[in-house]
A and B are shown apart, each in its own frame.
Chain A
Amino acid sequence: MMRQVALVTQREFNSYFATPLAFVFIFVFLLATGLSTFYLGGYFEAGQADLTSFFLFHPWLYLFFLPAISMRLWAEERRNGSIELLLTLPVPLSAVVLGKYVAALSFSALALALTFPIWLTVNYLGNPDNGVILAGYLGSLMLAGGYLAIGSCVSACTRNQVIAFVVSVVVCFLFTISGAPLVIEVFRGWAPAALVDTLAGFSFLTHFRAITGGVIDMRDLVFFVSLIGIFLTATAIIVDMKRGDS
């Protein structure tokens, strides 16, 4: 089983690099993180030796970048018919779902890892708390994992990659802002407190900020891991149900 997951992951991961798309993606992603950190985040103006302004924009960058990775996961298989091949090989469906997901996550982890110059910069300029920065990277990876799991599930629903992209962005957006004051205020007036708390509890932003703050609380990790688990399970169920539709 693990061997098959690894083979599916390897195949999928290599397919990102079969076209220049991967390089374009990574280049643009690095450009966007750089710009957002230095211009929008006011990295220099803040005069602090930390990466707060770097991680601040990750949820918003991921919102558009990650659905672009996940949109093809299943939609493309269905479009070119290879899904029939994949699902008639003697491989459990769970191994295929997991393998594809791990490939997408590895790719985004690679893009994230390539932001290391900013870490070098901040260490050159001052004496940051590298533990907090590491926590920041972990939080960012968790966040990416959440977005990609949602994207995988949406991609399983359609054979059209553009639809997969747009719907993923919308769903991810809802998960991101559900804890924002703007949304909470709308509900606070009339909804029971439990509902408001639950809603806020589903916010990627809240959990992400908690981790990047440098405090790694098990609850935040459990939130992301179980959310990923739920969406991957849903992916498997949808792929299984939609076998007949080409």
Chain B
Amino acid sequence: MIDILNLTKDFGDFRAVNDVSFSVERGQVLGFLGPNGAGKSTSMKMITGYLRPTSGTALIDGVDICQEPLRAQQCMGYLPEGAPAWPDMTPRQFLDFVTRIRGLDKAAARHAAGRAIEMTELHGVLDQPIDTLSKGFRRRVGLAQAIVHDPDILIMDEPTDGLDPNQKHQVRAAISEMARTKAIIISTHILEEVDAICTRAMIIDRGRVIVEGTPSALAARSAYHGAVVLTATSARADDLAAQLETLTQVRIEREDRGAEAIFRILRDDKSDETAAALFARVQACLEQMSAAIIGLALEAGRLDDVFRDLTRGAGAEASQ
């Protein structure tokens, strides 16, 4: 549904987006991850036809956004960064305007707006000017605007930014609900969101795609992927540490947290043991000391670590 072909954007000498290509099919939610200034928003602005690419293009359901922007924009919903709206309008007027300018007649517009209001739960604030609304409601108004014409393709720049946990949950549920019938791209810097709603994730940094895959495949790139995490009472922590020393071909990290101590047992670089085998070996090793153990688990890997590892260079550079 969405095909991005060698998208590139220069601002003067600065290359904000560098030869990005990917496609998103119906039923997929692609998460765009990256530090601030990585080129996420710029890419989305090009995909939705706001900015013109320096080279490359995007095909929206087969329609080239650069050649026929109006036709491509017709089947696309877009939530720009910060969910801009006209502050003096009420959500009702705003949705009515957006729907009607997209070509729906009055009755169809009312019906469509009603559905969008339902999904974003805006009933309570329909007749208050948008600039008097809280950040969460404003974001939902923006979301309603993006989905009001029931587009096949949905592009959302940080859809849950500034929402409280309940609202985040609501918005994510709404996105997951819509995902079955649409092709969706969201950008975010909240990593838990990727786990929660994305079927695929892409980390971009300095305009380039660094890594792409399912959220769990990305998490597996973490150094902690397949590590055994052992939580123990701190009273017996030293005994446990001594016992763990007997294991071979592992690296052990210890972290003391009040009444608990946490050990992370990682396979060392030379080891080709599976995570499950390591887990069994750790279990066997600690058989005698089970009283001291609070928890024993296999770490799936954390997206945070992967993200930080891959994009750390950019942060260091920017802070200079």
Is A87 in the interface zone, CB < 8 Å from B?
yes
Cβ-neighbour of A7 out of B11, B100, B145 (below 8 A): B100
Cβ-neighbour of B73 out of A14, A80, A88 (below 8 A): A88
Is B84 in the interface zone, CB < 8 Å from A?
yes
- Closest chain-A Cβ to B263's Cβ sits at a distance in Å of 49
Q: How many residues does chain A have at the interface if contact means C-beta atoms less than 8 Å apart?
A: 21
Question: From residue 109 to 160 of chain B, which have CB atoms closer than 8 A to chain A?
Answer: 129, 145
Whether the Cβ atoms of A18 and B88 lie closer than 8 Å is yes
- Residues of A contacting B69 in the complex (Cβ-Cβ under 8 angstroms): 90
Please name the residue on chain B nearest to A92 by beta carbon: B70
Whether the Cβ atoms of A85 and B85 lie closer than 8 Å is yes
Whether the Cβ atoms of A87 and B97 lie closer than 8 Å is no
Chain B interface: which size bin? 20 to 34
Whether the Cβ atoms of B101 and A89 lie closer than 8 Å is yes
Cβ-neighbour of A82 out of B70, B74, B85 (below 8 A): B85
User: Given A85-B80, A88-B80, A90-B70, are A15 and B101 also a contact pair (CB < 8 Å)?
Assistant: no
Q: In whole angstroms, how far apart are the Cα atoms of A7 and B94 in the complex?
A: 12
- Residues of A contacting B86 in the complex (Cβ-Cβ under 8 angstroms): 11, 15, 80, 82
- Residues of B contacting A4 in the complex (Cβ-Cβ under 8 angstroms): 101
- Residues of A contacting B50 in the complex (Cβ-Cβ under 8 angstroms): 84, 87-88, 243
Whether the Cβ atoms of A91 and B84 lie closer than 8 Å is no
Whether the Cβ atoms of B101 and A8 lie closer than 8 Å is yes
Please name the residue on chain B nearest to A84 by beta carbon: B80
Whether the Cβ atoms of A89 and B98 lie closer than 8 Å is yes
Whether the Cβ atoms of B70 and A91 lie closer than 8 Å is yes
Is B89 in the interface zone, CB < 8 Å from A?
yes
Q: Max chain B CB contacts within 10 Å: which of A11, A85, A87, A92?
A: A85
The secondary structure that dominates the A interface is helix
- Residues of B contacting A85 in the complex (Cβ-Cβ under 8 angstroms): 78, 80, 84-85, 145
Whether the Cβ atoms of B145 and A18 lie closer than 8 Å is no
How would residues 275 to 292 of chain B score, 1 for a CB under 8 Å from any chain A CB and 0 otherwise? Answer: 000000000000000000
Is B82 in the interface zone, CB < 8 Å from A?
yes
How would residues 80 to 100 of chain A score, 1 for a CB under 8 Å from any chain B CB and 0 otherwise? Answer: 111011011111100000000
Whether the Cβ atoms of A80 and B102 lie closer than 8 Å is no
Q: In whole angstroms, how far apart are the Cα atoms of A14 and B93 in the complex?
A: 10
How would residues 193 to 204 of chain B score, 1 for a CB under 8 Å from any chain A CB and 0 otherwise? Answer: 000000000000
- Residues of B contacting A88 in the complex (Cβ-Cβ under 8 angstroms): 48-50, 73, 78, 80
- Residues of B contacting A7 in the complex (Cβ-Cβ under 8 angstroms): 97, 100-101
Whether the Cβ atoms of B71 and A90 lie closer than 8 Å is yes
Is B295 in the interface zone, CB < 8 Å from A?
no
Whether the Cβ atoms of A80 and B87 lie closer than 8 Å is yes
- Residues of B contacting A18 in the complex (Cβ-Cβ under 8 angstroms): 88-89, 129
Is A121 in the interface zone, CB < 8 Å from B?
no
How would residues 171 to 201 of chain A score, 1 for a CB under 8 Å from any chain B CB and 0 otherwise? Answer: 0000000000000000000000000000000
Is A47 in the interface zone, CB < 8 Å from B?
no
Cβ-neighbour of B84 out of A15, A19, A84 (below 8 A): A84
- Closest chain-B Cβ to A204's Cβ sits at a distance in Å of 32
- Residues of A contacting B74 in the complex (Cβ-Cβ under 8 angstroms): 90
Q: In whole angstroms, how far apart are the Cα atoms of A18 and B93 in the complex?
A: 12
Q: In whole angstroms, how far apart are the Cα atoms of A108 and B69 in the complex?
A: 34
A–B complex contacts, Cβ < 8 Å, 11 sampled: A7-B100, A11-B86, A18-B88, A80-B86, A84-B45, A84-B80, A85-B85, A88-B48, A88-B78, A89-B73, A92-B70
List residues of chain B with CB under 8 Å of any chain A CB: 11, 45, 48-52, 69-71, 73-74, 78, 80-82, 84-89, 93, 97-98, 100-103, 129, 145
List residues of chain A with CB under 8 Å of any chain B CB: 4, 7-8, 11, 14-15, 18-19, 80-82, 84-85, 87-92, 243-244
Q: Which 8 A-B pairs have the closest CB atoms?
A: A81-B84, A18-B88, A90-B73, A84-B80, A90-B74, A90-B70, A82-B84, A88-B48
